[in-house]
A and B are shown apart, each in its own frame.
Chain A
Amino acid sequence: MEFLRPASWQEALAAKAEHPSAVPIAGGTDVMVEINFDHRRPDHLLDLNRIGELEEWETGEDTVRLGASVPYSKIMAGLRRELPGLALASHTVASPQIRNRGGVGGNLGTASPAGDAHPALLAGGAAVEAESVRGSRLIPIDDFYTGVKRNALAPDELIRAVHLKKASGPQQFSKVGTRNAMVIAVCAFGIALHPDTRTVRTGIGSAAPTPVRARTAEEFLAAALDEAGLWESRKAVPPAVAKQFAVLVAAAANPIDDVRGTAAYRRHALGVMARRTLGWTWEQYRGHGSEQGSTSCA
């Protein structure tokens, strides 16, 4: 095995081009488990820790460009207002020690259906900035997850950053697990209200081969809110609408039975989370439209 330690982003891209099978290592919280347990023996490890800009973010007028290696603990502490959904999701990852190392780039690299960043990225409408010596491109998050633990990166590409719109409305994230810390999601759900475009986006985790959106549910809800003029009136969402939204979210999942839970339980739980998180976000929108990122999390 060779340990490559590029000192700059350009060097990292050159190393990845020269050794396309090199395994990037950022926080190492996925990679090192595989190495410790002999599940992986790459020819090259490509250390990204020396590349400072991967651990920084830039805030534009409407968007945040989040470096691939910004650890979850920094997202929680520094981006709660701009990216409330992702900040809430980050807080549910593992433990403080893991959150101090792991980040969104690694979550995307692993592309596990259980990764907690994914529902928030789907709901937020993220784009993944992938780069290689050939150039840079923005991959819409909807096209990023291509299969179980598969993503749209080419072998010579690295993730430079994730682009997200600053929240224009409330966002929530909810996760079901057996305890409060150190738990892989049985299933998870993210929701983002986008009052600026009068749309709602969602993300479902751990309940399909890849993270997915509940598109039919999103369209139904947006239409229902529109027709009743609720974006303007900020009146309560009728219970029948919330219920149908929950049914459609549950229907969008394609879960399996496994050690963490049954498919039937996952569907049920998704419906509950969909209804609750819609309730929380809508209350936030009604009450104090500008104040986002409450800490409540089911």
Chain B
Amino acid sequence: MRVSFTVNGRPQEADDVWEGESLLYVLRERLGLPGSKNACEQGECGSCTVRLDGVPVCSCLVAAGQAQDRRVDTVEGLAGEGGELSPIQQAFVDAGAVQCGFCTPGLLVAADELLEHNPSPSDGDIREALSGNLCRCTGYEKILDAVRLAAARTGQAV
């Protein structure tokens, strides 16, 4: 089947999509957007997190056909047109929150959404928002630092 939806603001079309295929597979294998990672395919790890109509979801658990006519935002959409990093991306770099990097795209999408709705989150808010994202390298402290840093910087900028 054919699936058409908007990815990072651009209309996209994928052909020959198998009916049981996940949105994650379509993004990675058909649209050339490998930023969203495939680690568990069962919703446990969050490395495939994207936003579906603005809401963070595991793209491995969304059937591709369910994304028809909807808006999907992936980690590829965070950086600016010229490649300049978004505040949360820069904070991950500066705080040393990236080890192997496999969990990073999912965490960035989840953290970005948190800060959008809650610009100065408590530690509890951060933990809760990121509770669906596993880091196999277990660098959680630095990840929390990165979100706090991004929040502090954004707060200053306003």
Contact = CB atoms under 8 A, between A and B. Distances in A.
B62 A28 contact: yes
Contact of A181 (B19, B57, B58, B131): B131
Interface string B24-56: 000000000000000001111010010000011
Interface of B: 1, 18-20, 22, 41-44, 46, 49, 55-58, 60-63, 65-66, 68, 110, 128-129, 131-133
B62 A97 contact: no
B132 A182 contact: yes
A94 B57 CA distance: 12
A103 B47 CA distance: 22
A47 B65 contact: yes
Contact of A1 (B20, B42, B55, B60): B20
A28 B58 CA distance: 10
A49 interface: yes
A120 B63 CA distance: 29
Contacts of A31: 63
Contacts of A98: 43, 58, 61, 132
A296 interface: no
A67 interface: no
A36 B22 contact: yes
Contact of B63 (A2, A32, A41, A180): A32
15 contacts: A1-B19, A2-B19, A25-B63, A32-B61, A33-B43, A35-B63, A36-B60, A95-B131, A97-B46, A97-B56, A97-B57, A98-B58, A98-B61, A101-B61, A181-B132
Given A32-B62, A100-B55, 10 more contacts: A28-B62, A33-B61, A35-B20, A35-B63, A36-B22, A95-B43, A97-B49, A97-B57, A97-B132, A98-B132
B58 A97 contact: yes
Given A33-B43, A47-B65, A49-B66, A96 B131 contact: yes
Contacts of B65: 3, 5, 45, 47
B131 A36 contact: no
- Nearest first, the 5 A-B pairs at minimum CB distance are A95-B132, A181-B131, A1-B19, A3-B19, A32-B61
Contacts of A28: 61-63, 66
Contacts of B55: 100
Contact of A45 (B19, B58, B133): B19
Contacts of A32: 22, 43, 60-63
Contacts of A180: 131
A117 B18 CA distance: 32
A41 B20 CA distance: 8
B22 A94 contact: no
Nearest to A42: B20
Contacts of B132: 94-98, 181-182
A290 B124 CA distance: 28
Nearest to A26: B66
B41 A37 contact: yes
Contacts of A94: 43, 132
A96 B63 contact: no
A94 B18 CA distance: 28
A96 B46 CA distance: 10
B14 to A, nearest CB: 13
Nearest to B59: A97
Nearest to B51: A100
Contacts of A45: 19-20, 63, 65
Contacts of A27: 61
Contacts of B19: 1-3, 45
Contacts of B66: 25, 28, 47, 49
A244 interface: no
Nearest to B25: A36
A49 B57 CA distance: 14
Contacts of A100: 55-57
